[in-house]
Amino acid sequence: MKKIGIFASGTGSNAFKIIKHFERNDNVEFVVLSNNKDAGVLEKAASLGIPHYSFLKKEFSNGTVLSFLQENDVELIILAGFLLLVSEDIIDHYPNKVINIHPALLPKYGGKGMYGINVHRAVVENKEAISGITIHYCNHEYDEGQFILQATTQLDATDTPEQVAAKVLKLEHFYYPRVIENILAE
């Protein structure tokens, strides 16, 4: 049995694409964690009977969240719209077992504050012809871990940040569950 901890700060659209991808796999279980007690991802997890936990920012850095992960036998951590830098104790305890998806082709448009519409706005402002996703391992810095996969989408000169976001989200929903499946099979 593989236990995956999914961290999300918002609605969790990627989280639930991942959960749906594994719904017929009896060898995978999930626990959902959020730093936002009002996050839609927690409500949806509850409605599906998935264990869930919200935590304060200080609990993320004082070892409480790491203890929770260990007590729940979490083996792999997936970030799905999670906006905090993962604490050093978690990164150190889970080397190459904390995975993030970024809505751009890193190293461009990465780092603190570069998430969601902020990324897509920058892509449009710079008149990029392509955008995409980067799935990567996490380290002690924002968006600097080893790449696992990058996938691209063509952009039109008239695309708005919202249109870029929609194109990128399709890539996220397609590739992220499959990359996780491959990692679990290793």
Predicted pLDDT of residue 2: 96
Amino acid identity, residue 113?
G
Distances in Å between the Cα of 48 and the Cα atoms of 20, 32, 79, 172 are: 11, 11, 19, 22
> What percent helix, strand, coil does the chain show, rounded to 5?
40, 20, 40
Predicted pLDDT of residue 186: 87
> Which value, to the nearest 10 degrees, does the dihedral of the CA atoms of residues 169, 171, 176, 182 take?
170
Residues 6+ apart with CB under 8 A from 25: none
From CA 177, how far away is CA 161, in angstroms rounded?
Answer: 24
Predicted pLDDT of residue 91: 97
Predicted pLDDT of residue 154: 99
Predicted pLDDT of residue 122: 98
Predicted pLDDT of residue 102: 97
From CA 166, how far away is CA 35, in angstroms rounded?
Answer: 25
Structural domains of the chain ordered from first start: 1-94 (3.40.50.170), 102-186 (3.40.50.170)
Q: From first to last of its 186 residues, what are the pLDDT tens digits of the chain?
A: 999 999 999 999 999 999 999 999 999 999 999 999 999 999 999 999 999 999 999 998 899 999 999 999 999 999 999 989 999 999 999 999 999 999 999 999 999 899 999 999 999 999 999 999 999 999 999 999 999 999 999 999 999 999 999 999 999 999 999 999 999 998
Active site positions, annotated: 102
